[in-house]
Amino acid sequence: MKLLIIEDDQHTADYIRRGLREHGYESEHADNGRDGLLLAASRKYDALVIDRMLPGIDGLSVVKTLHAAGPHPPVMFLTTMDGIDDRVAGLDAGGDDYLVKPFAFAEFLARLAAILRRPPIAPERTVLSFCDLEMRLLTREVYRAGRRIELQPLEFKILEFLLRSDGRVVTRTMLLEKVWGFHFDPQTSVVETHMSRLRAKVDRDFSTTLIRTLRGVGYCLRADA
Amino acid sequence: MLRLLRTASFRLAAAYAVVTATAFLILYLVTGWISGHALDRQIRAGVEVEFADLVNEYNDSGPAELLKELNARSNVKGEWSFLYYYGDQSGRRLAGNIDTIKTFEGWRTEPLDTATTGQTPVRGDHEMIAYGRHLPDGSFLLVGDDGYGAIATQRAINEAFAWASVLALVLSILAGIVISQRFLRSIDRINATSKAIMRGQLKERIPVYDTSDEIDKLAANLNQMLDSNQALLELLKQVSTNIAHDLRTPMARLRQHLEESVLVGRSVEGYQAVIGEAIDEIDSILATFSALLRIAQIESGTRKTAFKPVHLSAVAERLADSYRAVAEDEGKALGTTVAQGVVFKGDEELLTQMLANLVENAIKHTPAGSTIRLELGNGDRLTAVVADDGPGIPEAERERVFDQFYRLDRSRTTPGQGLGLALVSAVAQLHDIEVRLEDNQPGLRAVVDFGALSLR
């Protein structure tokens, strides 16, 4: 896995690259939009991490240019601009995800993993499964070891998101955005409450816990004895 | 006085005076030219008639009769009489009231002075329009008219014009001075106030007299502007104080924890725990900043361009689904009544956050056992209501809770930044929505008034 970081702030770039190295990713760095675009065009990277505000050519234009030129590796935007318009503009330009600085590195890794392993064109599956857990999307039914589990709509959506993430970590923010459509940080424990209810229904009566909480990071599906 | 000359209104009055004077001058010249021509024609006609009359006399009765007639007519003393000259072949004067003249044929304008008219020095030095011709016997007859009466009239008119012009000029200038001084006094009022404000007396206002003229309206408008500026300034001051205050507490706590761990010395796990706590503290500080930035961004109004129809019913259902479990876990009940198919043009993310903040506030600030209601109504007006039967907010504080960082005393211990309702207010302002806090008897009732149905 090789990544290109286009980021004009040396500290941030070093911080990201150091973290990536610890997690087994290779990375290269460009500190302006022009060099970044040239490097990105060489097509030897698995993903691009691009700051919105760059000297030379700004991040948005870099991605627009890449996007117009044809297929390109997945793009994650980094920005200090905490605005929804910015996010929408970033995604419209061809970005795959958008992360606002400052961010927790765990959040960055989880999102990076999500865009890296996004299947090119996922065939619409009607059944999602993990271990002995089975989700039938057409009838909206969930079974564990053949036993029907009744879920509330939100719980169903959370579980679907976890199943689609294929064992990867999903963060609280990712859940809020994808399941709730909330682009703000709620002041109450919305995610935790629903998560614990879901876990109660899915895991309580079984010896194997499927839904795991990674403290300070998020949640994932993992078969634990 | 110099200042007076420089004022806009005085310059205007002066310009007006110049225009008036010019108009008078043009009027005078045109009248003079027209009346001059008419006078000339009239004089010539009179001279022609008189000459013809005398020639007839000569033809019918002979030179002797003409001589007699001429003597008679020349002796008429008065302002309005013709001038005559009758001389024989050798150039000797036979009759008339002009002493000497060079003979000529036809019309001529001749200077008329005491040398030529010894008998009529009263008239002074001027000109006459004369017609002269040699008669068949070689004698020379001249009839002239100096138009003295008409000239006197002209002179009187000139004088009248001159006086009127001077009077008009003086009046315009006087009016200019009076108006300018009045204007200057008003400007002085405004200037004095501006200077006072610049010196730091921010509460100073321009005195307004109820004349409701333009200056008064200007003063009133300026005062209003100053009022709102001062309010904004005070808000800004208050907000920055609040930011400083609200950030100092977690910063101080953070510093204390870090210092403690350095002094005490811990195991690796101990340090990790302290660092973890420090990161949490910093995250909450960052959350405050990000909330502030978000409010600032909403208040800038740039998001208005991205307004789209929002299915409020779906938003309300989603919020109900999301928060029912949260409320239950805290021993509270969240009930909902949502009208179907309600659509409002706006920003879905912000409207969602606005309603979510109200619901979260109700959950956070009520004791266990409370009932919270979320209602979306589609009556005369489109309204969303979040009501609870908790402790409510004292009436005096209901407006202030929308201010940034404002928190009720009893809420000081609950987590939060005191920015939730400030964001609600910012979103409402962006959408021209009214948000009211009412007494739910008991409890608090937050009413989001989206407006009349026809306005949607």
Domain boundary among B152, B167, B183: B152
What pLDDT, on a 0 to 100 scale, did the predictor assign at position A70? 85
pLDDT band of residue B189 (cuts 50, 70, 90) is: confident
Residue at B69: amino acid letter: E
Q: How confident is the model at residue B125 (pLDDT cuts 50, 70, 90)?
A: low
The last residue of one of the domains, among B152, B175, B198, is: B152
Q: Which of residues 9-48 of A touch B (CB under 8 A)?
A: none
Residues B381 and B241 in one domain: no
Q: Which residues pair with B106 in a beta bridge?
A: B132
Q: Is residue B284 part of a domain?
A: yes
pLDDT at residue A149, rounded to an integer:
93
B177 lies in some domain: no
Of A102, A182, A193, the CB nearest to B352: A182
Q: Distance (Å) from the C-alpha of residue A100 to the closest C-alpha of chain B? A: 10
- Assess whether B265 and B334 both reside in one domain: no
Counted residue by residue, chain B has a size of 456
pLDDT at B172 over 90: no
The tokens describing A34, both together, are 């022009």
Tokens for A166? 């294929």
- Quick check: B116 pLDDT over 50? yes
Q: Is A182 on the interface with B (CB under 8 A)?
A: yes
Closest CA to A151 of A112, A199, A192, A118: A199
pLDDT greater at residue B413 or residue B372: B372
Residue B45 near chain A (CB below 8 Å): no
CB contact under 8 A, B321 and A152: yes
| Number of domain units in chain B | 3
CATH number at residue B253: 1.10.287
Assess whether pLDDT exceeds 90 at residue B155. no
Between CA A151 and CA A157 the distance in angstroms is: 9
> Is pLDDT at B454 greater than 50 in this prediction?
no
Query: What band does B80 get if pLDDT is binned at 50, 70 and 90?
Result: low
Cβ-contact B139, B63 below 8 angstroms? yes
Contact B444/B393 with Cβ under 8 angstroms?
A: yes
Instruction: Render A135-194 in DSSP notation, one character per residue.
Output: EETTTTEEEETTEEE---HHHHHHHHHHHHTTT--B-HHHHIIIII---S--SS-HHHHH
Determine whether the interchain pair A183/B353 forms a contact, defined as Cβ–Cβ distance below 8 Å: yes
3-state class of B77 per DSSP? coil
Same domain, B435 and B324: yes
Residue pair B349/B389 in contact by the 8 Å Cβ criterion: no
Q: How far apart are CA A193 and CA B455, in angstroms?
A: 39
The answer to whether residue A28 scores a pLDDT higher than 80 is yes
Give pLDDT tens digits for B176-187.
788 878 878 888
Q: Region B80-87: what's the mean pLDDT?
A: 80
Claim to verify: residue B262 and residue B336 sit in the same structural domain: no
Q: State how far residue B196 is from chain A, nearest Cα, in angstroms.
A: 41
Per-residue pLDDT at B427 exceeds 60: yes
A187: nearest CB among B286, B350, B420: B420
Backbone angles phi, psi at A131, to 5 degrees: 50, -120
Inside any domain, residue B190: no
Domain stop point among B299, B323, B357: B299
CB atoms < 10 A from the CB of B100, how many?
Answer: 12
User: Looking at beta carbons, which residues of chain A come within 8 Å of B288?
Assistant: none
* B28 and B136 within one domain: yes
Residue ranges and CATH numbers for the domains of chain A are 2-116 (3.40.50.2300), 127-224 (1.10.10.10)
Instruction: Tell me which of A10-14, A53-57, B34-38, B367-371 is least confident.
Output: B34-38
Are A31 and A76 in contact, with CB atoms under 8 Å apart? no
The pLDDT of residue B68 is above 50: yes
How much is the mean pLDDT over chain B? 83
B315 and B247, same structural domain? no
What number is the average pLDDT over the span B77-86?
A: 73
Candidates A92, A98, A176, A188, partner chain B, best to mutate (most B CBs within 10 A)? A188
Domain-embedded: residue B37: yes
Rg (CA), chain A: 19
Q: pLDDT, tens digit, for every residue of B369-393?
A: 999 999 998 888 899 999 999 888 8
Burial of B19 (0-12, 13-18, 19+ CB in 10 A): exposed
Q: Is A83 on the interface with B (CB under 8 A)?
A: yes
Share of chain A above pLDDT 90, in %: 53
pLDDT tens digits along A113-157: 988 876 654 567 788 989 899 999 999 999 999 999 999 999 999
Specify the CATH number for the domain of residue B409. Answer: 3.30.565.10
Residues near A39 by Cβ (< 8 Å), separated by ≥ 6? A4, A6, A28, A30, A45
Q: Which ranges in B199-267 belong to alpha helices (H)?
A: 214-264
Contact A184 B321 (CB under 8 A): no
pLDDT recorded at residue B321: 92
* B275 and B321 both lie in a single domain: no
B265 shares a domain with B315 = no
Cα distance between the two ends of chain B:
61
More confident residue, B3 or B164: B164
For residue B393, which amino acid is it? I
Mean pLDDT for B114-137 is: 67
My answer on whether omega of the bond before A102 falls inside 30° of 0, hence cis, is yes
Residues in chain A with CB shorter than 8 Å from the CB of B290 are: 82, 100, 185
Decide if A207 touches B, using CB distance below 8 A: no
- Does the residue B220 lie in any domain? yes
Based on the fold, state whether residues B261 and B322 are members of the same structural domain.
no
- What confidence category does residue B79 fall into, taking pLDDT thresholds of 50, 70 and 90? low
Give a yes or no: residue B113 inside a domain.
yes
What is the pLDDT, as a whole number, of residue B422? Answer: 87
Does the pLDDT of residue B118 top 60, yes or no?
no
Please check the confidence at residue B456 and state whether its pLDDT lies above 70: no
- Give the 3-state secondary structure of residue B412: coil
Residue of A187 and B75 predicted with greater confidence: A187
Q: Which of residues 324-363 of B touch A (CB under 8 A)?
A: 325-326, 329, 347, 349-350, 352-353, 356-357, 360, 363
Q: Is the pLDDT of residue A1 over 60?
A: yes
B95 and B30 part of one domain: yes
Same domain, B56 and B137: yes
Reply yes or no on whether the pLDDT at B121 is more than 50.
no
Distance CA B201, CA B169 (A): 44
CB of B383 within 8 A of CB of B450? yes
Q: State how far the Cα of B181 lies from the Cα of B3, in Å rounded to an integer.
A: 10
Q: Does B298 touch chain A (CB under 8 A)?
A: no
Within-domain flag for B181? no
B207: in domain = no
d(CA B417, CA B412): 10
Q: Are A211 and A131 in contact (CB under 8 A)?
A: no
Distance from CA of B357 to the nearest CA of A (A): 8
The domain that holds B119 is classified in CATH as: 3.30.450
Q: What per-residue confidence (pLDDT) applies to A159?
A: 95
Whether residues B347 and B405 share a domain: the answer is yes
Measure the CA–CA gap between A184 and A177, rounded to whole angstroms.
Answer: 8
User: Using one digit for the tens of pLDDT, what is the confidence trace for B12-58?
Assistant: 777 877 888 888 888 888 887 887 788 888 888 888 998 898 888 88
Range of the domain at B278: 214-299
Inter-chain residue contact B297 with A181, CB threshold 8 Å: no
Q: Is B16 exposed, middle or buried (0-12, 13-18, 19+ CB in 10 A)?
A: middle
Nearest CB to B294: which of A82, A189, A190? Answer: A82
Closest by CA position to A128, among listed A142, A114, A118, A115: A142
The ipTM is 0.84
Q: What is the pLDDT of residue B289?
A: 83
| Contact check, Cβ <8 Å, B356/A193 | no
Return the pLDDT at B415. 57
pLDDT-derived band at B455 (thresholds 50, 70, 90) equals: very low
Q: What is the mean pLDDT of residues B275-301?
A: 83
pLDDT confidence bin for A110, thresholds 50/70/90: very high
